[in-house]
Amino acid sequence: MRTAKIAISMDERVLAKLDRLVKTRVFPNRSKAIQTAVQEKLEQVERSRLARECSKLDPKFEKAMAEEGFTTELSE
């Protein structure tokens, strides 16, 4: 995987907590800790977006569509 260098600004208290995690070897370095945190947050956002979209679905319509698909497959 290719990586890119970036510069970020961070609250000093958050940075101190991050450095403690690196010092206790929870993460090998700051970069890996930040990469992991950002990736986890992106996954969380994506899951919540998916959940919001799924909540918009009409269960009766979705069931009918699924059953129609099964009926078509069975007749073939």
Predicted pLDDT at 37: 96
* Residue 71, pLDDT above cutoff 70: no
Please provide the size of the chain in residues. 76
Taking CA atoms, 42 is separated from 21, 65, 70, 75, in Å, by 21, 31, 35, 43
Q: Is-contact 22 28, C-beta < 8 A?
A: yes
* Residue with the larger pLDDT of the pair 70 and 52: 52
Q: Is 10 helix (H, G, I), strand (E, B) or coil?
A: coil
Q: Are 71 and 65 in contact (CB under 8 A)?
A: no
pLDDT recorded at residue 72:
54
The structure's pTM equals: 0.62
Amino acid making up residue 32: K
